[in-house]
């Protein structure tokens, strides 16, 4: 399946204009490449922000200052998707505090998770997420790592019906959960899935990404750098000359463009806790994206390291 049949949407202002791009995807100037959420057609920029780890125990004023600058930079450059979870230490309340401090909070798409067992415990955790994030509306809540999926999905459906959340989904980052993940995708109607996928971790591409496309589910990609393993693998290597053909100037852009070029992928959420990472990673939502032949070339390069 090539890109010639895929539609992508470019730029916030151009939200309603779907362009069929021949051969390679392209976004001009400061516009970010956006892709639609299949269940509604709403579009999201293909690069979001993950908040695990570095946001978990940021307490000093200096740490919080850097995170605030990171979020502001992300927003200023057109980023919208921010992913968090109630089990990422203090990440949720930290993001809630920072959202209060930055202007234009409403332009952000906030995704969190429910990560516990039992209906009452799930509801309690979700209500705490609303308080942590200091909001009356959360864009997406997903069942984290298939924890008590059926019970929590029922709760999420009720909240969606009540208009308190806009989208529901499920997440994993473990191969051992893939077959159960597939079963849930087949039997449930979900807006989103979130799964691990990276140039050195391509297993989700075999069945789960095609299934998401078939089932009309948006796909958010976690661990796009394998928690940094791809940077370690390439740290003494120069980016190949041909990376210019897809407008990559850094390895981060190379890793991310390979992901977001997949036709099932809606966005990737690299962990970003520094403004300079935002400057770098957001460029992956600009310029040309690789077609399938180029993606294979990128895979071969990583496999050969």
Ligand X SMILES: NC(=O)c1ccc[n+]([C@@H]2O[C@H](COP(=O)([O-])OP(=O)(O)OC[C@H]3O[C@@H](n4cnc5c(N)ncnc54)[C@H](OP(=O)(O)O)[C@@H]3O)[C@@H](O)[C@H]2O)c1
Q: How far is the CB of 276 from ligand X (least distance, A)?
A: 7
**Residues 296, 299, 303, CA angle at the centre, nearest 5°?**
140
Closer residue to ligand X (CB): 9 or 271: 271
Q: How far is the CB of 227 from ligand X (least distance, A)?
A: 4
Q: How far is the CB of 103 from ligand X (least distance, A)?
A: 23
Closer residue to ligand X (CB): 54 or 286: 54
Sheet hosting strand 218-222, strand order edge to edge:
49-50, 81-83, 109-114, 138-143, 165-171, 192-196, 218-222, 267-268
Please give the Cα distance from 97 to 228 (Å, whole number): 27
Q: Say if CB 277 and CB 270 are below 8 A apart.
A: yes
- Tell me which residues touch ligand X (CB under 6 A): 50-54, 83, 144-145, 171-173, 194, 222-228, 231, 252, 269-273, 277, 280-281
Alpha helices by DSSP H, listed for the chain, are: 61-76, 91-101, 119-132, 149-161, 178-187, 208-215, 229-234, 251-260, 275-281, 292-303
Q: How far is the CB of 11 from ligand X (least distance, A)?
A: 23
Closer residue to ligand X (CB): 144 or 295: 144
Closer residue to ligand X (CB): 3 or 194: 194
Q: How far is the CB of 21 from ligand X (least distance, A)?
A: 26
Q: Say if CB 267 and CB 222 are below 8 A apart.
A: no
Q: Say if CB 198 and CB 175 are below 8 A apart.
A: no
Closer residue to ligand X (CB): 145 or 155: 145
Q: Which residue is nearest to ligand X (CB)?
A: 271
Q: How far is the CB of 206 from ligand X (least distance, A)?
A: 18
Q: State CA 62 to chain mean position distance.
A: 27
Please give the Cα distance from 290 to 247 (Å, whole number): 9
Closer residue to ligand X (CB): 163 or 176: 176
């Amino acid at each position: 399946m090539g890109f010639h049949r895929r539609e992508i949407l470019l730029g916030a202002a151009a939200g309603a204009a779907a362009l069929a791009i021949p051969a390679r995807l392209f976004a001009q100037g400061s516009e970010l490449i956006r892709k639609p959420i299949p269940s509604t057609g709403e579009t999201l920029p293909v690069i979001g922000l993950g908040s695990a780890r570095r946001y978990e125990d940021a307490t000093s004023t200096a740490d919080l200052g850097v995170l605030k600058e990171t979020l502001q930079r992300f927003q200023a450059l057109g980023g919208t998707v921010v992913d968090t979870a109630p089990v990422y230490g203090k990440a949720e309340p930290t993001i809630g505090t920072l959202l209060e401090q930055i202007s234009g909070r409403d332009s952000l798409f906030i995704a969190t998770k429910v990560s516990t067992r039992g209906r009452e415990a799930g509801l309690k955790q979700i209500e705490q997420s609303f308080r942590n994030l200091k909001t009356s509306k959360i864009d997406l809540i997903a069942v984290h790592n298939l924890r008590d999926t059926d019970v929590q999905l029922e709760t999420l459906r009720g909240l969606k019906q009540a208009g308190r959340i806009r989208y529901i989904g499920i997440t994993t980052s473990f191969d051992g959960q893939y077959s159960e993940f597939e079963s849930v995708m087949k039997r449930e109607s979900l807006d989103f899935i979130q799964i691990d996928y990276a140039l050195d971790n391509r297993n989700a591409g075999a069945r789960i990404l095609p299934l998401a496309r078939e089932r009309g589910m948006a796909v958010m990609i976690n661990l796009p750098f394998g928690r940094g393993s791809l940077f370690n693998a390439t740290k003494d290597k120069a980016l190949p000359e041909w990376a210019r053909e897809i407008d990559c100037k850094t390895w981060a852009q190379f890793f991310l463009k390979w992901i977001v070029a997949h036709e099932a992928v809606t966005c990737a959420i690299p962990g970003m806790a520094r403004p300079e990472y935002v400057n770098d990673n957001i460029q992956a939502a600009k310029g040309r994206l690789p077609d399938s032949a180029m993606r294979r070339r990128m895979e071969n390069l990583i496999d050969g390291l």
